[in-house]
Structures are given as C-alpha cells and as structure tokens.
C-alpha cells in the first residue's frame, strides 16, 4: 500500500470508531413491520442503507455506462461489485494498493461484494470441487486458480466493501440429493469464512442454500443463525425454478431467519419478484436485469417492458414513461431514443440504463412508503393491474435451458469429486 493512500483509509476508520465509540459500525434498525414486510435501516461505515433496497450491479467496479455522479443523482443506496471479476482483473491486491474499492471506483456510498462462488460455478472452466475449496481456470485466459473460504475472505477484505459474502456452493435448485450434499460443504465453508474474517469495518453475511426444499432451507437457516452473522442472504434462487417455487421457498425460509438482521435475496430483481419477496420479508436485492435489458433496448415501465427498437415509437414525441422523473424521460422523446438504439449510439445504452435504474429505485421508494403507510397490499394490487409480466412460456423455455446447463455442470463436478 502506498504512503499516500494509507493515511486516508486510516482516518476513515478512526472517524467511524472514535466519534461513535458506543455504536458498532453495523446496526440493523427496524422501524416498522407490515405483515411480513419490513421498513428498516442497515447502518454501514459508508452510510445508512434504507431497507428494502435494490443494489445496481457494477460487475467490474462500474455500473455499466454510469458514473458515480449518475448513481448519486439516481439516489442509489448500495452498489454490488463482483469478487470473481475483480480478482481476475485488475486483481484484489492492486485495488487494495489503490486504496480499496470505494476509492478505486470513486463511490463513497455502501458497497457489497459477492463471494465469487456463483461465477466460479457458472463461468469458470474445468472446475474441480473438493471439501476444502474449488480449483478452476479463468474464463479470461485459462490460468489456474483456487478459491477456499480463507482465500475468498482474504480477497474480499482486500477489496474492502462494507458487506462481504461467504463462499458457498451454488447447486441446481431442483435436485434434492445435490442440495443435501452441497449444504454440508456450504455450512462448513461458512464456519471457516467466519473464522477467517477479521475486518471490523466490514459485515460478513451468511448464505442460506437448500434449493427449493423447505426442510433443507430451514436447516440451513438454523445452522447459519447459530453462527450469528450480521446479515443473511438467500442464495441459489432465480436460477432455474419457477416463480411459484421461488415464492414458496421464500415462504419457508424467511420465518426461519432472525428478525433483527437484514435478509438479502441474491440475484433477484424483476419488479414482480421484488414485490413478492418484500411481501414475504426480504430486505435487499441485486440484479443485472435493469442494466442488461437496457442495453438491449428493453425499458421498464409501470405497464411492463417496452422495446425501444419497435417501429411504433419512430415518431412518438412522448417520453418513455409520462410520469417518470429520470433525466432520460425529462429530456428525450421515444422517437429520439429509438433512433439512438437503431443507430447503435452508445448514448442509447446510457439513457436506457438511467431510466431502468430509476424505475427500480423509484419502485423501492414506493415500497418503503407503502410499508410505512401499511398499504403494501394496495401497491401490489396496483402493480398487477397494469404490469404485463413477460410470457411464462418463454420463461419456462429459459428455465429448461438453464436447468440443462446446471445439470451438465453438476455432472462435471460429480465426476471430478469422485
Ligand atoms: Zn425515466
């Protein structure tokens, strides 16, 4: 670490601890429950996170096409960055030498990093899983790497986000046998992560696994609660199960988690899934959906997704969404946006991303207000009265394809296991 960056980091830590010596840097403050939904604040060294919250995803320490000033204008409260990608490029040690993730990406708000496990199980090549960890080849250059719980804690502590995640195994949610076996390893890894994690200015969350099986989810919640993490994630969903299976899994899992800690549903971010999960007691979300579909020209509105490339918008002078307060809708017509998408202008991707992030963050503000006013039922009914959910048949097709891919991975890891 260079001499110029270290003093700044230290002074940040000192101000956190010295000015409020009686208060730990992380606190979950429950303001109100409405049914199972919770209005709360999770306090972190980089500011309070109002819950329920949606975290835009900045895979490469960057929310694609946006800058920190955009994220501040959008009033983003939490950003997610991916440990696997940053470990691969530019490397966690380089980021540490540059003053840590906040300083490196010039974002002064709260950051959460995943453990990289999901990417190892979905992206990396020639993966070899054993009880101690997982060996794999980089998806970038084929180089050989190994993640163990201790190694991942070293990486996440070097990156320095406010919230870090334990290393877990991400099995096919529909296979009972696989989930049962994976849970033993995931729990053992959680214990090892807890021991290896020492940064007091970073909260380490446990991850409940167990597929779509209530008994496994409840056993996992009970085990992890015993380790007393400052927050709990629900992992392994939105990767191949139906919406009904996902919601039933949340029904079984949320009541098994402590009421005085945040609950984070990983990788889930369609508007309907967020509303249903908040309804069941989930507080935190992240998803690439709003940024990824914006780059394809799909924009989120109260009526559903709009494809800005459609010919019907060629001479439409209206904004994307009439009552939207985002920069894109305040400034540009559908006709102009369609032109930018059709012409392949990079500005289209940026303007679309601004709108989609605004749509989801605004939905979260409305959800928080609805919980405060005890009218989440009304908000949910209003949402479904307008929002067209993408075709379930298409979704089931996608599900079948994802399932086949996951099962192939399982076959691979089983072979290398034996
Ligand atoms: Zn807008």
Ligand 1 center to 321 CA (angstroms): 6
Rounded Cα distance between 96 and 94, Å, is 5
Whether residue 280 is preceded by a cis peptide bond, meaning omega within 30 degrees of 0, is no
Rounded Cα distance between 68 and 82, Å, is 17
Q: Can you name the CATH fold of 25-287?
A: TIM Barrel (3.20.20)
Residue 91 has pLDDT above 50, yes or no: yes
Interhelix angle 271-279/243-253, rounded to 10 degrees, is: 30
Each domain of the chain, given as residue ranges in start order, spans: 25-287, 295-392
Ligand 1 center to 354 CA (angstroms): 7
More confident of the two residues 20 and 167: 167
User: Residue 312 carries which DSSP code?
Assistant: G
Which residues sit opposite 111 in a β-bridge?
79
Q: What is the pTM of this model?
A: 0.90
- What pLDDT does 2 receive? 41
> What is the tens place of the pLDDT at every residue in 27-64?
999 999 999 999 999 999 999 999 999 999 999 999 99
Which residues sit opposite 357 in a β-bridge?
none
> What is the tens place of the pLDDT at every residue in 295-336?
999 999 999 999 999 999 999 999 999 999 999 999 999 999
Which residues sit opposite 301 in a β-bridge?
304
Nearest to 151 by CA among 196, 203, 85, 215: 196
> What is the tens place of the pLDDT at every residue in 376-413?
999 999 999 999 998 765 666 665 665 566 556 545 44
Nearest to 294 by CA among 330, 326, 322: 326
CA angle 365, 368, 374 (to 5 degrees): 135
Rounded Cα distance between 51 and 42, Å, is 7
Query: Is position 114 annotated as part of the catalytic site?
Result: yes
Ligand 1 center to 57 CA (angstroms): 19
SS3 62: coil
Backbone dihedral angles phi then psi of residue 113, each to the nearest 5 degrees = -115, 140
- What pLDDT does 393 receive? 59
Query: Is position 286 annotated as part of the catalytic site?
Result: yes
Rounded Cα distance between 363 and 277, Å, is 13
Annotated catalytic residue, options 70, 114, 162, 362: 114
Give CA 93 to chain center in angstroms: 23
- What pLDDT does 407 receive? 52
- What pLDDT does 4 receive? 40
Nearest to 298 by CA among 380, 402, 394, 368: 394
Beta strand pairing status for 284-287 and 53-56? parallel
Ligand 1 center to 222 CA (angstroms): 42
């Amino acid at each position: 670490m260079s001499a110029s960056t270290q003093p700044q980091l230290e002074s940040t830590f000192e101000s956190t601890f010295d000015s409020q010596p009686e208060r730990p840097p992380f606190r979950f403050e429950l303001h109100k429950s409405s049914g199972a939904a919770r209005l709360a604040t999770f306090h972190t060294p980089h500011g309070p996170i109002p819950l329920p919250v949606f975290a835009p995803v900045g895979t490469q320490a960057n929310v694609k096409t946006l800058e920190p000033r955009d994220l501040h204008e959008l009033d983003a409260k939490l950003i997610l960055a991916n440990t696997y990608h940053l470990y691969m490029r530019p490397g966690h040690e380089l980021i540490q030498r540059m003053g840590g993730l906040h300083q490196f990406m010039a974002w002064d708000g709260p950051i959460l990093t995943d453990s990289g496990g999901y990417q190892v199980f979905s992206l990396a090549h020639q993966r070899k899983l054993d009880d101690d960890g997982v060996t794999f080849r980089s998806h970038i250059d084929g180089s050989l790497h190994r993640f163990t719980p201790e190694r991942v804690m070293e990486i996440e502590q070097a990156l320095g986000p406010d919230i870090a995640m334990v290393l877990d195994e991400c099995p096919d949610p529909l296979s009972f046998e696989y989930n049962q076996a994976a849970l033993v390893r995931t729990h053992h890894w959680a214990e090892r992560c807890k021991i290896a994690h020492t940064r007091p200015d970073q909260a380490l969350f446990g991850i409940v696994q167990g597929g779509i099986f209530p008994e496994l989810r409840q056993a996992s919640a009970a085990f992890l609660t015993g380790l007393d993490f400052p927050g709990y994630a629900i992992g392994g969903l939105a990767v191949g199960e139906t919406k009904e299976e996902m919601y039933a899994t949340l029904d079984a899992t949320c009541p098994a988690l402590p009421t005085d800690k945040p609950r984070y549903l990983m990788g889930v971010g369609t508007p309907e899934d967020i509303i249903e999960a908040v309804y069941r007691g989930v507080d935190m979300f992240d998803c690439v959906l709003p940024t990824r579909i914006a780059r394809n020209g799909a924009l989120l509105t109260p009526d559903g997704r709009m494809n800005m490339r459609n010919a019907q918008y060629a001479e439409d002078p209206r904004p994307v969404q009439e009552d939207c307060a985002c920069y894109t809708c305040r400034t540009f017509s559908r006709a102009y946006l369609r032109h930018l998408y059709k012409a392949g202008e990079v500005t289209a991707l940026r303007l679309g991303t601004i709108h989609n992030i605004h749509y989801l963050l605004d939905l979260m503000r409305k959800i928080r207000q609805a919980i405060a006013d005890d009218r989440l039922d009304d908000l949910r009914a209003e949402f479904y009265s307008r929002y067209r959910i993408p075709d379930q048949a298409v979704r089931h097709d996608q599900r079948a394809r994802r399932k086949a891919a996951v099962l192939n991975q399982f076959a691979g890891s089983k072979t290398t296991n034996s």
